[in-house]
Every structure is written in structure tokens, then in C-alpha cells.
Amino acid sequence: MWIEPNERKVERIQFLNENGKLIGSMPEVSDEELVSLYKWMVLARVFDQRALKLQRQGRIGTYAPLSGQEAAQIGSASALAPQDWIYPSYREGAACFVHGFPMKNFFLYTMGHLSGSDAEGAHVFPVQIIIAAQCLHAVGGAWASKYKKENSVSVAYLGDGGTSEGDFHEAMNFAGVYQLPMVFFVQNNQWAISVPVGKQTSSKTIVQKALAYGMAGVQVDGNDVLAVYMTMKQALDRARKGEPVLIEAVTYRQGPHTTADDPTKYRDGSDVETWLAKDPLKRIKLFLFEKGIWNEALEEQEYAKAEHTVSEAFEQAVNTPKSNVKELFDLVYEQKSSQLAEQQQSLASEEVWK
């Protein structure tokens, strides 16, 4: 029997509609968990807005905004266990913060400081700029975890554009063949810089690519933090049993690809407005208000707290002594090779870093 392209129907998981109304029955999530998810989303939004302003002021380098993707990142990262690993691209600041990565260090990273990649004990790999390369690293980590019989899952975060890269497909194939504890979390934010998802793949969905690699897949409303959280919990349970999973979180990048990009050159304003109406913070906020576990006083208090947290993290970064060339040689390998030591000594004799 012929298998026709795109004949398989994909049903998107959703618990909250755009107006914060519950669809179907309420999953087993406590009020405390709901409030925690929203607080993290508020912090992520405040951080993102501040980072954009700082970049425009020339106080940090190029930055990739995450506004619009808070539910996808916070919901998924909040489901992780402490021993699980995150392999991020350049837009996953929110997910990294939830998993313990210091905000101060993220600011240092944007300033070009060498310690900006120091996770300080958090299970977060350094930011990967090369598109989808983190998928290969995550598979390596998952394979090591399986070999050592650890109870950890490796999660590779990427965008829809990353699914066009060979590294993504090689990693998917490897994870499927060796049944690794692995979750591929694709944030389909509709645009890979100026290329729309419709020109990124001819598949109706990204999640159906899981079929080719013998793994489970699920599509979730990436602006519904409740749906993302519950879906990720289920995915992690499967991954711990050696069943790799592909998740497609359908969301939207509200701002530019990076601060070096002008989205007005390629995006239609009406399309942006349509997605802004689906804002992930608005959705969960309305739900919390209706449940009676959140109010305007708490809202104002939380935003003030988030502003303070971000300001404090930035001040810590600004007051951190600048890194120098000498440190480069100490951060390549755990044990410095003779060649590196020779290069370091050579530069020292030339007084490069004095």
C-alpha cells in the first residue's frame, strides 16, 4: 500500500484557548505549580525586554529575543528533573534560567565574557550558535547517560529552521536506532530569520518527521504553558525508558530574529497582530484570574520583583572583571596540552594580555 505524503492527521494538544478558557478537563496541576509557571514567564518577559534595551544602548552584544516563546520554554523546562540536561541554541534563556543557569552569566555571555558559558553546576550546556549542532551534542550526552545507566534525559532545543539541517536528522536517526533517553524540542516560531516555515519544509507539520526515525512525536500549542508542561512530563517519562521523543511546540517569535534583524522587511503586520492576540502570558494570566489565585496586586508585585532580579543580575555582570586572552588557554581542555601551553607561553612573552 502506498503511503501518501502528509496523509497522517496530527492533533495538537491544547488545554487553554486564546482567552484563557479551559478546553476539556483540568489536568493534575496544583495551584502552586500554575502560579510558579506564570512567575517564571513574567521574569522571562521582563528579562527579554531589558536585554533588548541594553543591546540598543550598546551595553551588551547581539541578542536573540524570546518574547512570545515563554510558554514553550518555561513549560518544558519546568518539567525537567535536576539530573536532566539542556542543550540550548541562542534563544533559550528562559529555559536555562528555570533549570538553574545564572542570569548574571547569561548577561556575561552577551558581553563576550569567557565565564558566560559557566553553568555553575546547572545541567545546561553552553549556548550553541551553529544551527542544530546542539542536537548532536545532546545525542552524545544521552548515549553516555544510557551507557552509565543514569536516570537522566538530554533535551535539545531548536527552532523550525534547525530541522532543515543535517545535524538534526543525523541526531534523530541515531537517537531512534539506539533508543536513547532524548527529547528533541522544536519551537516552531514560524520564521527562520526571514524564511517562513512553509518554505522550510513541505511537510504539513514538523512532528511527523519523527515517523521516519522510529520515534514518538507530539505537537503541542506552544503558547499554552499548561499544555507544554503536561506534554513535556509525558515525553520525559517515555525518554527515561529509552523512547526518544520529538515535540513540536507551535508558537511565534514576536520580535526580530536577533537585534541585527528587521522583521518588518519580511513579515506582514496583520500576521503579527494575529499572533499577539495569542500571547502566552495573557492566556495563563486570564486563567489564573478566573481561578481566583491571581490578582492585579500580585501582578504588580511580581513585575516589580522581576525588574529587581534582572537589574541585580545585570549589575553583577557589569561588576565582574573582564576576561582576558590568557584565560582562553585554560578553558579548552580539562588538562592543558603541551601545544596549548607553548602557545600560551609564546603570547605571554609578547605581552599580549598586559
Mind listing the pLDDT tens digit for each residue in 292-347?
A: 999 999 999 999 999 999 999 999 999 999 988 888 888 888 899 999 989 888 88
Domain spans in the chain, listed from the N-terminal domain onward: 31-321, 324-354
pLDDT of amino acid 4: 85
The total of other beta-carbon atoms located within 10 Å of residue 32's CB is: 9
Task: Tell me the pLDDT tens digit for each residue of 20-29.
Answer: 999 999 999 9
* Res. 354: pLDDT tops 60: no
Distance CA 109, CA 182 (A): 27
Phi, psi at residue 249, to the nearest 5°? -100, 110
Percent of the chain with pLDDT over 90: 89
Three-state helix/strand/coil letters over 24-47: CCCCCCCHHHHHHHHHHHHHHHHH
Distance CA 48, CA 50 (A): 5
Helix axes 133-147, 166-178, angle to 10 degrees: 20
Task: Tell me the pLDDT tens digit for each residue of 180-193.
Answer: 999 999 999 999 99
Alpha-carbon distances, residue 246 vs 64, 87, 231, 294, 331 (angstroms)? 24, 15, 11, 34, 33
Task: Tell me the pLDDT tens digit for each residue of 33-92.
Answer: 999 999 999 999 999 999 999 999 999 999 999 999 999 999 999 999 999 999 999 999
- Please give the average per-residue pLDDT across 98-107, as a whole number: 98
Distance CA 198, CA 209 (A): 15
* Residues contacting 116, CB < 8 A, separation 6+: 105, 106, 107, 108, 109, 110
pLDDT band per the 50, 70, 90 thresholds, residue 351 = low
pLDDT, the chain, mean: 95
| CA 208 centroid distance within chain | 21
pLDDT of amino acid 348: 76
What fold does the segment set 31-321 form as a domain?
A: Rossmann fold (3.40.50)
pLDDT top residue among 344 and 282: 282
* Res. 353: pLDDT tops 60: no
How much is the pTM? 0.95
Residues marked active site are found at 253, 257, 266
pLDDT band per the 50, 70, 90 thresholds, residue 214 = very high
